[in-house]
A and B are shown apart, each in its own frame.
Chain A
Amino acid sequence: MALLWLRFALACYFIGLIYAFFALTRTSDLFSRIALHAASLGMVFHFVSLSELFLSGHVVWASVHNGESLLAFFSMTFFMIIYAIYQTTSPGVVVFPIVFFLTFVAALDQQPVLLTSFVQHKGWLIAHIILIFTGYAALVLSFGASLLYLLQERRLKAKKASSLISFLPALEVIDQIGYRSLLLGFPFMTLGLITGSILAMSTYGHVDFLDPVFLLSILMWAVYMVMVVTRWNSGWRGRRAAVLATFAFVAAIVAWAANYFSTIHRFAAS
């Protein structure tokens, strides 16, 4: 049943995906309202799906697909928070496709991997997953904002009055969205990695530093930290910030993809 709800959510997110492509070429208040309502409805289905999984008593938190579903939900939550504050749907241009992709993968029938349950430290596991996914979701937003910043900056520099200019929020608003997401996400990501390390330590008695998931996660965190520090100290924005955000985002994706061949998350299997 949880999968069915998730597929309903996917259908709603699909409208968001269409909006994301549409918004790149023209502005439509009506369509952005439709996309927003569809995304809200999708979140309701998504929430039902996640709740059902949780209440079913099966410990499925550590499933890759459920993780992707959770990340998609968190990303949408961030998007909605930003909408509530700034009244702009423009981050959806980046967020909607990512959310759709994550939900799409999670809604596949097949559950290829694998991360079977870890029952001894369930509280730690839940904390780890929620923290890390909140960090990821913030990173998605920050990445999206940095791309939009770049886009708006280029448009303003090109001095062309295009529809995108009116569609995108002001440069400083985009900057604030990115920066706040960054500041919010960093502690979550840090704590998420710490709890993950504690879990690994308690399971194996050591942390496998050569595991690709660990290495890539550390790399992602390091880039994340560089982003925060350069922004804090030198106010890096625009192209440099976008390069860093893209780097961190790619590292995050690769780190997540590494779950498909890493053993670090297969606690129960060990």
Chain B
Amino acid sequence: MRYQLIGVNHNSAPLEVRERLAIPESRLPDFCRDLTAHPGVEEGMIISTCNRVEMITHTTNGSADLRGFLHEHFHLSADELDAHLYEFREKDAVRHIFRVASSLDSMVVGEAQILGQVKEAYATARAVGSVRSQLDQLFTRAFAVAKRVRSETAVGSSSVSIASVAVELAKKIFGTLQGKNVFIVGAGKMSELAARHLIAHGCESIFVSNRTYDRAVGLAHRFNGQAIRFDDLYENCDHADIVITSTGSPQAIFRREHGEQFLARRKNRPMFFIDIAVPRDVSPEMAKLDGIFVYDIDDLQQAVSSHVADRRHEAELAEAIIASEVERFEARLYTLDVVPTIVSLQDHLETIRQAEIDRVRGRMGPLTPEQEMAVEALTRGIINKVMHTPITTLKTAAREAEATTVIDVVRKLFDLRDKDKQPGTLDSHKGKEKGTRHG
């Protein structure tokens, strides 16, 4: 189990740092390939959302230089980056991935979106071949754990999401949302969710603008709204009281001068910008204008922090599930490690049995079918009885730290070392033993 993970999230790094690490969806496959090509990395996958950027790897020796990868690819010095990074290995990495997929590590604990994002990241990495057996096992299990957490705890219910927080904040500004206009800039899923909440609370007109006009039309159609061409954004934006923006633009699309124009046209009626884009779509300078209220993804986190306390109990239950699942996963991996040895042992003893039967068959003369069956049963019974203790010991040892030692002893005792050694099997155990020390 030589999993190694490095990353930043909303707790460890400010938005300014996350912005610089964010990887656009279109470049994710290349990054996955680069990560897998990095020295010491066997398999790699990248999760890049507005709240986190994480590299999850399976390495050859459990200690690949992932920091070096980040410094190299993001042109960030160690001073700028290292203080914000977290790194997990082995069991801790597994636990972290389970927590992320189960939305326990999310800005809004229990929100469902993260699971979809992890699945997308997994699909992307799998498509480029950077996820193979080891990460595949990990993530397949992580998805199952997320499902279990969701079904066995109430952590995902009474959703305190970005969307509901946005509604609450909008009410602090506008009082009632009846008759308010909403402008969605960038047709993302999160924007759509926020817009749905706002409509449910009385917002009326919906405008949608997206660089790809067809997507804007599609989304506007779903809301009975109006699609606006991206070029006409600034001419129309002042019609909206609430703007939800989540474009992939590397620069801010709303700057101070735009805010001044909007306010002048609106006779200074306040505007509320929900900026869920990373990098941010609204410049900090614009947020300073009187009458413009901007909440970016970090601000929303602050706003939801009070709600998080309500979920603490459910989160504790979920953490317990995660802990047991990590143990199970670990045990299962170790069990998988002993399987080749068990198979080798069975093959080895079967070969001996066959050889011995062939050797004595000549002396015994022709046997009746009944006698043949009796000899088969007798020899198999002896072999099974001989194998029983070593196999049981191997399976038991698989869950313990001394698994490697037991495997080695069994291989030596039965002379399995050379002829039956499967590529990677023993090496992987040695690697695992080294790696375990990191945990």
Chain A positions near chain B (C-beta within 8 angstroms): 152-153, 156-157, 159-161, 165, 169-173, 233-240
Contacts and interface: CB of A to CB of B under 8 A. Distances in A.
B269 A235 contact: yes
Contacts of A169: 175
B174 A237 contact: no
Interface of B: 169, 171-176, 266-270, 287, 290-291, 293, 295, 299, 302-303, 305-306
Given A161-B303, A169-B175, A170-B171, 20 more contacts: A156-B169, A156-B173, A157-B287, A157-B293, A159-B299, A160-B302, A165-B172, A170-B172, A170-B173, A171-B173, A171-B175, A172-B173, A173-B175, A233-B267, A235-B266, A235-B268, A237-B268, A237-B270, A238-B268, A240-B290
Contact of A236 (B268, B295, B303): B268
A-B pairs, top 8 by smallest CB distance, nearest first, are A235-B267, A170-B175, A235-B268, A238-B290, A173-B175, A159-B299, A171-B173, A172-B175
Chain A CB within 10 A, most for which of B172, B287, B303? B172
A171 B170 CA distance: 10
Q: Is the interface of A mostly helix, strand, loop or mixed?
A: helix
A240 to B, nearest CB: 8
A235 B264 CA distance: 9
Contacts of B295: 159
Contacts of A233: 267
A165 B302 CA distance: 14
A161 B169 CA distance: 10
A172 B305 contact: no
Nearest to B296: A159
B270 A161 contact: no
A144 B303 CA distance: 27
Contacts, number: 52
A253 B293 CA distance: 34
Nearest to B263: A235
B174 A172 contact: yes
Contacts of B174: 170-172
Contact of A161 (B269, B293, B302): B302
A171 B290 contact: no
A173 B176 CA distance: 9
Nearest to A157: B293
B256 to A, nearest CB: 15
B306 A172 contact: no
Contacts of A170: 171-176
Nearest to B302: A159
A234 B290 CA distance: 14
26 contacts: A153-B290, A156-B169, A156-B293, A160-B302, A161-B302, A161-B303, A161-B305, A165-B172, A169-B175, A170-B171, A170-B172, A170-B174, A170-B175, A170-B176, A171-B174, A172-B174, A172-B175, A172-B270, A173-B175, A233-B267, A234-B267, A235-B266, A235-B267, A237-B268, A237-B290, A238-B268
A176 B160 CA distance: 30
Contacts of B173: 156, 170-172
Nearest to A240: B290
Nearest to A165: B172
A237 to B, nearest CB: 5
Most chain-B Cβ atoms within 10 A of its Cβ — which of A152, A159, A171, A234?
A159
A156 B268 contact: no
Nearest to A160: B302
A153 B270 CA distance: 10
A226 to B, nearest CB: 15
Of the candidates A152, A170, A234, A240, the one having the most CB atoms from chain B within 10 angstroms of its own CB is A170
B377 to A, nearest CB: 76
The residue in A153, A161, A240 that gathers the most chain B C-beta atoms within 10 A of its C-beta is A161
